[in-house]
A and B are shown apart, each in its own frame.
Chain A
Amino acid sequence: MYNKKVLFSLVIIVGLLLSSCASATTQPAAPVVPAATEAPSAAAPSAPTTAPAENVTITVWDYYGEATPIKPLIEPFQAAHPNIKINYEAYDWDTTQQKLDVVLTGGTPPDVTTVDMTWIPKYASLGAFADLNALSGGSLNGVAWKDAYTAGALKAITFNDQIIAALYDFDTYGLYYRSDLFEQKGIKVPTTWDELMAAAKALHEGDKYYYEFDADTFHGSQWIYENGGTLLSPDNKTVVFNSPEAVGAITFNDSLLKEGVAINWTTDQGERIQGVKDGRIAMFSDGPYYMGIMKSAAPEMAGQWKVAMHPTSKQNGSYLGGTGLVIPVGSTQKEAAWEFIQYAMQVENQIGVYTNAGAAPALKAALSSPEVNVADPYFGGEQAFSIFLKTMETATPFPYVRTWTDIDNAFTNAMQQIALGDLTVQEALDQAAQTAQEALNQ
Chain B
Amino acid sequence: MAAITHLLKLEVPAAITSISSYSSSLALYLKAQILTYLCRTENIEEPTSEVQRAGLFTESEKLCRTILKNLSFEEEITRLKLEYGNSE
A and B assemble together: no
